[in-house]
Amino acid sequence: MEDLSIHHFVALALIFGSISLQVVAFFKILTLGSGETTEKVNDNHFLVQYEPPDGLFPLEAGHLINGRLNFDDIAGEIVNLATKGVIKITDTYYEIPLLPDIPDVVLTKLTDDLSLDEAQRKVLNLFFTWNKEVSLFQASKKPGFRNHFLRKFKDLERYLDKKMIEEGLFDQKKYRQLNKSRALVTSSLFLTFFGGFIAGEDVPSLIVIGKSISVFLGIITLLLSFARFWAFYTQKGLDILRKLRGYQEFLEATESEKLQIYTSGEDVSSLFERHLPFAIALGVGSAWAEKFKNLVDLNLRWYSNTHKARFSALDVTKCLQNIASGASQLCTSKSGISGGSSGGGMGGGGGKSW
């Protein structure tokens, strides 16, 4: 057995003390994400809603139902702003000599609407800081634009979290406890490195093992705390969440033949357009468009298609999927827009119907 000096014992005490703090923080974070609130979030008892909850726009609805910001939320809000005349969306292709054309989306800012919510203005700032027209494919090739987008995306998510707390939808107490756990882990890592400094150069294997365990556990705990696997809802937040799930169920599972019954005979094209921003933000854009697949001659003032004179609801939704995918590419890689949906998914779901 290796001889341990006094400073080695002090170093071991600091390192294994920090491990104890990390274990406490780890289980505190797990406890925050479990219990009665989580059971209520997973509760499937809700009533089908035919309209979104009052006072929410698509970006907020998507953020609330997911517990975090994702790229479908942004695509849904882009469509919402387009229907208000703030943005025009052009479905096009980027031509590369000797290679197949690449699907692209061009966003054009038409006006500065002073009546927009702060969060909506932040969505516009994701794309239109420098120019009033943006090709998502070309933007994905520019490191400066990608860095700007990622920075603004994180700023938008922080703003929405703060807004949800201020409006009493997220539980501020639990978020504070989460931040305290992060601070505890950060302090424990400082103790570990300080213990390693005290141990000096001739370090016994027990201290090396302890440092490795502490650093590994500290990093895992911090990653868990930032992973956004859950949101901490208040009772008010849960009530709105259930309404959103009921509305999501309507958008996803209502049979095409019954839409007219539930919507008082509203014009089919108008019905599709009015609910489309929320369908995208709630992750059921494709399921919503599928109900209108026979609607092949849409006239949308905010959307144009450079390669089709007549386009369908499915064409429009595929383009909007490219917006979500393009936003994802701007945050995660150097490649261009892909045709599929982003992580949150616009894909239609199960076999339920109403």
Summarised one tens digit per residue, pLDDT across range 270-300 is 888 899 999 999 999 889 888 887 766 677 8
Tell me the longest C-alpha to C-alpha distance in the chain: 86
N-term to C-term CA, the chain: 72
At residue 152, the pLDDT reads 93
**Which positions ≥6 away from 3 have C-beta within 8 Å?**
none
Q: Report the DSSP pairing between strands 102-109 and 87-94.
A: antiparallel
Helices (H), 227-332: 235-253, 259-262, 268-281, 285-290, 313-332
Cα–Cα separations (whole angstroms), residue 91 to 88, 281, 289, 322: 10, 19, 16, 9
Summarised one tens digit per residue, pLDDT across range 195-239 is 888 887 777 888 889 999 999 999 999 888 887 666 788 889 999
Summarised one tens digit per residue, pLDDT across range 15-60 is 999 999 999 999 988 888 665 555 455 565 778 888 999 989 999 9
At residue 339, the pLDDT reads 35
Burial class for 277, CB neighbours closer than 10 Å (0-12, 13-18, 19+): buried
- Rounded Cα distance between 149 and 322, Å, is 16
Summarised one tens digit per residue, pLDDT across range 243-264 is 999 999 999 988 776 776 666 6
Q: What is the pTM of this model?
A: 0.79
103 pairs with which residues across the strands? 93
Summarised one tens digit per residue, pLDDT across range 49-98 is 889 999 899 999 999 998 889 899 999 999 999 999 999 999 888 887 87
φ, ψ for residue 193, nearest 5 deg: -70, -30
- Rounded Cα distance between 284 and 252, Å, is 6
Cβ–Cβ under 8 Å, residues 65 and 56: no
Closest alpha carbon to 305 in 80, 92, 88, 79:
92
Quick one: tokens of 259?
A: 């839409």
Q: Report the DSSP pairing between strands 87-94 and 303-305.
A: parallel
State percent of the chain over pLDDT 90: 38
Quick one: tokens of 276?
A: 């489309």
Closest alpha carbon to 74 in 341, 350, 353:
341
One-letter identity of residue 154: K
- Rounded Cα distance between 174 and 34, Å, is 11
